[in-house]
Amino acid sequence: MSRPERPVLVVIAHGSRDPRHAATVHALVRRVRAQRPGLRVETGFLDFNIPSVQGVLNSLAAEGVRDVVALPLLLTRAFHAKSDIPAVLRQAPSRLRIRQAEVLGPSPLLTAALERRLYEAGLTPADKSSTGVVLASAGSTDPEAIAVIAEIAREWRHTGWCAVRPAFASASLPRTEDAVRELRALGCERVAVAPYVLAPGFLPDRIARGAAAADVLADVLGPAPEVARVLLDRYDEARMPSLAAVGA
């Protein structure tokens, strides 16, 4: 008897007018495919870019696909994960069985990806005890999302950094430049900014401008191998019927 087909993974990205955003999303999806050969992975965008999420779902249904795992390409469970994406999924063709995966963060793998980017930007593990890090997020009006970022900063501090401070590019305070000044005032020998964002765009550019007085600015997480592993972990969790529900 043949084994049932694995659900198609549909990665749901926010989208942006900045062409670097879609290019980075596609690079990440290519890495996911490379890590899991044979898994079909499609990408849909909520806004600005094509294909749209609705278009991808309609095409899959027209092909005869039955099972889909919809994975929000988001680091925190804020408005898009709680409202926008479930609303889009409710409009999908009725023949599709859709399970919405959890957002990517928090995860120790994402923290590892942040450190990877800092080391690629010039730091070494030996620099940790003398370096203060700004964990720079896009920001949110959702208190749960803000609390998660603050908790990641607290936990990351315990791995050996001089200090770690959260910062936000929008909606919340402090801004990146304020956190840089705070770490200077604490006496950290050097200050590094680690963008906790997945792809370039308007808010990551604001983070970069806020990092002007820092010694090190890391790249966005992008197609880091650890990020691809988190996507696959969330996919595996969601395809277990006891752990997922349509539009949940």
- Check whether 69 has a pLDDT greater than 70: yes
Which whole number is the average pLDDT over 121-132?
98
| pLDDT at residue number 153 | 98
- Check whether 67 has a pLDDT greater than 80: yes
Which whole number is the average pLDDT over 67-77?
96
The maximal CA–CA distance of the chain, rounded, in angstroms, is 67
- Check whether 247 has a pLDDT greater than 90: no
Q: Which tops the pLDDT comparison, 202 or 79? A: 202
Which whole number is the average pLDDT over 151-178?
97
- Check whether 188 has a pLDDT greater than 90: yes
- Check whether 134 has a pLDDT greater than 70: yes
Which whole number is the average pLDDT over 132-157?
96
Which whole number is the average pLDDT over 84-104?
96
Q: Which of 83-92, 107-116, 177-186, 235-244 has the lowest mean pLDDT?
A: 235-244
- Check whether 244 has a pLDDT greater than 80: no
| pLDDT at residue number 208 | 98
Strand order in the sheet with 163-168: 163-168, 131-137, 190-196, 216-217
| pLDDT at residue number 220 | 98
